[in-house]
Structure 1
Amino acid sequence: MLKNAFNKYIDNFRGFSREIWILTLITFINRAGTMVLPFLSKYLKEDLHFSYSQVKWVLISFGLGSIIGSWLGGKLSDKIGFYKIMIFSLLSSGLAFFGLQFVKTFEGLVIAMFCIMVIADMFRPAMFVSLGAYAKPENRTRALTLVRLAINLGFAAGPALGGLLIMTVGYKGLFWVDGATCILAISIFWLLVKEKKKSKYTDKEHPGEILTNSVFKDKPFWIFLSGTIITGVLFFQLFTTIPLYHKEQFNLSEFQTGLLLTLNGVLVFLLEMPIVSYIERNKIDKLKVITFGCLAMTISMYLLLINQWAGILIIMMLFMTFAEMFAFPFSNSFAMSRAPKGHEGRYMAIFTMCYSTAHILSAEAGMEMIDLFSYQTNWFFMGTLGIIGVLLFIWTKKLVAKEPIRKL
């Protein structure tokens, strides 16, 4: 019985090319080493003694850099190819993280975080385009899920190790590990994966003039992106306000915060691929799944209104984890499915820019709500925002249902 269940689980991972597995490996290395982000707000508040307002502006500069980096990464991926962008981005950002630990002033960190994120987030749309290039069309959602598994497996190890690192050698250790893993990951990619040349094609369905403007005329896509920004705003509370809430409301240590985030990563690693495979095998509508994910995320925010029992943090994390598993893989896949051939970079750039925008709004709204009102006000606001997100995804689904059948 157990053997059959294990074999079924392993079957979900079959059929991927060598390049996809290497992309998965480097993503894991990079993600496991990305320890700065989960503890950035705590580092700024507790180690550098910044005010809430200063923390907010550093996080906003982080998000603005991410938006520009995502746009540049997608644009340049279509122009000069994803391969060169991926190598430049990870190598340069790895070196930049080494230097970031020496920047201590508020103004310096605003500028430094902006510049680093412009470089670092050029990687994301380029990586999504690379999945389209190296994965078979029928495996694309599963390939995206495999890479997300690597992200979450790394995420399972990263925060707990990061918490231990802070408690032993201090915050400076995070910057060294982050930079080193960026450089290690891209070195493996450069040595083991050869650049895939862009194939020549003729897109008769979308002539050049229409194709160039198609992303801006795609109404369902833009409504979908609005909902995506909302799911991002809710999810990024995990990295902006929630670590501070853990300390101030329940007096949790960095290690305990890391363990809660590790729970998220472990569950995603174990369950996401079987869930995605089941949904794909049964041809369940992607937008319906994304809507359900947004609803679960909304519930997770409302659960934080219960603030006298620490156990609610585990229940909240369970809801957020399942929300993530339903919303994010299929959001990636839906965004890629809207792109005409040869313009995937443009669509994925705009899609990843949504998460960068969400990061800014998450920090801005969350920190402002806490500063002016309370944590409770913030959780209620975020939950209400989630309801709007659910309605936007329902609207997108209705618009897509009215479209002529298109090849996904």
Structure 2
Amino acid sequence: MKTLLRNYLKTFDGLSREIWWLSLITLINRSGAMVIPFLSIYLNKSLHFSLQDVAWIMTSYGLGSFAGAWIGGKLSDIIGYYKVILLSLLLTGINFLWVMHVESFWMMCISFFVLIAVADMGRPAFFVALSAYSKPENKTRSLTLIRLAINLGFSVGPAIGGFLVALSGYQTLFYVDGITCLLAGVLMMQVLNPKKTKELDKEVVVQNPVKPLKDTPYVLFLIALALFGIIFVQYFSTVPLYYKDAYKLDEDAIGLILALNGALIVVFEMPLIAWMEKKALTNVQSTIVGLLMTGASFLLLLWETWVGVVVIGMVIATFGEMISFPFSNKFALDRSKLGRQGAYMGVYSMSFSVAHIFGHNSGMQITAYYGFQTTWLFLIGLTLIAWLLLYIVKRMLAKETL
């Protein structure tokens, strides 16, 4: 047992002090993100919006994410990642405390657009900060540590969130989310002030930088990633409703199943990534492996007879996520050296915003009209399309190295 623990801790060796602080800020922020996993249930069961209305509210959420990622990428290149992250944290905290009072459909659409726009404005900036605070050889593990913080927070958040809903209702979640964002911003001002930190890998401004949308392999990679995102976001919108409708699970049980995702990542992701880095797989090949695993998890949901399949499906999807996301992040960071990092990472973040725009809506609309089974088959089809695109990217990158 001591040897296992020693080997686990060894995978964290060499990461910078700044990366650890960035991870702690992320942990505080994500621990409070309790509303998001319960958002579709809150809108449908508590505010009594129809599934179609919930789908459009989630689409406005996705549009806000798209706008925020674009603005954040631009601002990161203009005013720097530190100011963008700080502004995002503080404004997100204020917006969570506001949106809890909104109940009408159109105001809900507008409020969630603004909320996620300011929240996701920080995403490209986080990637640029992570790149700046890491040595080149440590970037995949640094990415994994940040994801570990996100998922540790996400494993705590839904579990506590489910109990808070049962005890005092959904309003408490908005208070907790808002306050934790503000606390994360205050901590950042104390520990990551530019006067107190050092950059280990400064961005190199290249001559005649390539614009990300002119980089064909990168664009195809992002389209595949957007399809992957559409598949994956179902675990935070359509799938929780499936748990409730098909298996009659309450919020406490749903929160624990969602928390399993984060708990598995905390325990297994860093050793898994350290092990995979020693293999002969490229970043794109690793992304393909994770994509296929996540897509395969929906095959299990077609079997509606035993509640245990929802847990097994979550485990398979989680391992797919653990493999694909760090290596897709690393591919984007490596590719960003061809141009301006903020712009490249902004477009990378926008691919997930596209997933929010179309993923929640398509999943709910298909479910409303044709049922859950058709939705799962649709997602399996998207998995095959995304795999084909990544295979084409792999072939194009092989030609670049000749």
Please indicate the TM-score interval, normalised by the length of the shorter structure.
Answer: over 0.9
Asked whether 1:220 is paired with 2:217, we answer yes
TM-score, normalization: structure 2? 0.96
CA distance in structure 2 between the partners assigned to 1:287 and 1:176 by the alignment: 40
Asked whether 1:207 is paired with 2:204, we answer no
Which residue matches 2:332?
A: 335
CA distance in structure 1 between the partners assigned to 2:211 and 2:108 by the alignment: 38
4+ residue stretches of structure 1 with deviation over 2 A?
196-203, 281-284
Q: Cα 1:63–1:105, aligned 2, differ >3 Å: closer, same or farther?
A: same
Which residue matches 1:133?
A: 132
Whether the 8 Å CA contact 2:212–2:347 is kept in 1: the answer is no
Which residue matches 2:297?
A: 300
Which residue matches 1:24?
A: 23
Asked whether 1:83 is paired with 2:82, we answer yes
TM-score, normalization: structure 1? 0.95
Q: How many residues are paired up?
A: 399
Whether the 8 Å CA contact 2:35–2:173 is kept in 1: the answer is yes
Whether the 8 Å CA contact 2:294–2:320 is kept in 1: the answer is yes
Structure 1 residue 202, shift from structure 2 partner:
6.7
Structure 1 residue 283, shift from structure 2 partner:
4.3
Q: CA deviation digits over 1:196-217, x for unaligned, max 9?
A: 68999875xx423xx1x43122
Q: Cα 1:201–1:397, aligned 2, differ >3 Å: closer, same or farther?
A: closer
Whether the 8 Å CA contact 1:28–1:150 is kept in 2: the answer is yes
Which letter does structure 1 place at the counterpart of 2:144?
T
Which residue matches 1:372?
A: 369
Asked whether 1:52 is paired with 2:51, we answer yes
Which residue matches 2:37?
A: 38
CA distance in structure 2 between the partners assigned to 1:342 and 1:3 by the alignment: 45
Which residue matches 2:181?
A: 182
Which residue matches 2:243?
A: 246
SS at match of 1:281: coil
SS at match of 2:273: helix
Q: Cα 1:116–1:235, aligned 2, differ >3 Å: closer, same or farther?
A: same
Q: Cα 1:343–1:166, aligned 2, differ >3 Å: closer, same or farther?
A: same
Which letter does structure 2 place at the counterpart of 1:207?
Q
Which residue matches 2:145?
A: 146
CA distance in structure 2 between the partners assigned to 1:232 and 1:202 by the alignment: 30
Q: Which of the numbers 342, 345, 349 marks the counterpart of 1:345?
A: 342
Identity %: 44
Whether the 8 Å CA contact 1:234–1:301 is kept in 2: the answer is no
RMSD: 1.6
Q: Cα 1:200–1:152, aligned 2, differ >3 Å: closer, same or farther?
A: closer
Asked whether 1:355 is paired with 2:352, we answer yes
Whether the 8 Å CA contact 1:78–1:342 is kept in 2: the answer is no
CA distance in structure 2 between the partners assigned to 1:93 and 1:23 by the alignment: 17
Q: CA deviation digits over 1:317-358, x for unaligned, max 9?
A: 111011101111111110111012661111110011111110
Q: Cα 1:23–1:202, aligned 2, differ >3 Å: closer, same or farther?
A: closer
Q: Cα 1:342–1:215, aligned 2, differ >3 Å: closer, same or farther?
A: closer
Asked whether 1:169 is paired with 2:168, we answer yes
Which letter does structure 2 place at the counterpart of 1:324?
E
SS at match of 2:211: helix
Which residue matches 1:96?
A: 95
Whether the 8 Å CA contact 1:370–1:377 is kept in 2: the answer is yes
Whether the 8 Å CA contact 2:203–2:341 is kept in 1: the answer is no
